[in-house]
Amino acid sequence: MLIGICDDEKTARQEVRKLCELYFIGHNKEHNYIEFESGEEVLSYCRRQDREPVEVLFLDVELEGVDGIHLKELLLKQRMIERIVFVTSHMDKIFDAFGQKTIGFISKPPTYEQIEKKLTIVRKEKQENVELVFAGYRDEEHSIRLEEIAFFKAAGSYTEIYSYGSDGKGMECFVISKKIGEVELEMRDYCVLRVHKSFLINLANVIGIGEDVTLRNLEEKIPIGRKYREQVKTVHAAYVSDKVRKRI
């Protein structure tokens, strides 16, 4: 686990790191840290796709230049920062700090109990990010993590699976020899939802539901079929509510 800590005060970064170390005394898990003094440093780290992704970033709200709230929006489309925990003395900013990657808030000065709870959430969510194996139409195997899947698209008797590219930018696609209806049944225990006769989406990567579906890092909109519209809105709202509840 790579833990990021972004605060313009060295003592604040050291305090978060010390509490994280207390947590790992009781959890035998390999971990490392990377510290940032500004939002600009975080963005610079994200531009290098050959680096290890940060599984959780402890982020101060009040930063010179790019502040924490603005940085959260910029990180929405960055694969290098997976989750954010805000550490702040400005709890009035909580509403603005909500977002897809935000898993919670910690008031300054942080306590061990607060850090423990957030790191436990990160570990649980990582465990839920199961590895799936699909047989390609040429009998080759494709192994992919659930969170990496963006959407499924019908292609006659086949289904195209679109995932986030290894470089964190473009989409990658492979084809399996199953109809999309078969795939829908197989994925019913995961956060995958039918939104159109030709499309299934991964709710974990949805950043907006309107007339169409907006997915993370994807300019193309996924259409919502008329008969699916109410169900999509209801299921997505329930998914978001459940995720927020688990993160509180």
**pLDDT, tens only, 148-170:** 999 999 999 999 999 987 655 57
Q: CATH fold of 2-128, please?
A: Rossmann fold (3.40.50)
Diameter of the chain by CA atoms?
59
Per-residue CA distances from 84 to 25, 32, 75, 108, 167 (Å): 22, 16, 9, 16, 21
Domain ranges of the chain: 2-128, 131-247
The answer to whether residues 77 and 217 touch, using CB atoms and an 8 Å cutoff, is yes
What's the confidence (pLDDT) of residue 187?
96
For helices 10-25 and 112-128, what crossing angle results, to 10°?
A: 60
pTM (2 d.p.) = 0.77
If one compares 200 and 218, the residue with the highest pLDDT of the two is 200
Strand order in the sheet with 192-196: 171-176, 158-164, 149-155, 199-202, 192-196
* CA nearest to 68, candidates 12, 134, 129: 12
The answer to whether residues 116 and 25 touch, using CB atoms and an 8 Å cutoff, is no
Task: With cut-offs at 50, 70 and 90, classify the pLDDT of residue 92.
Answer: low
Convert the pLDDT of each residue in 39-85 to its tens digit: 999 999 998 878 899 999 999 999 999 999 999 989 987 789 999 99
**Preceding omega of 109 cis (within 30 degrees of 0):** yes
CATH code at 131-247: 2.40.50.1020
Q: Is 100 a residue whose pLDDT tops 90? A: no
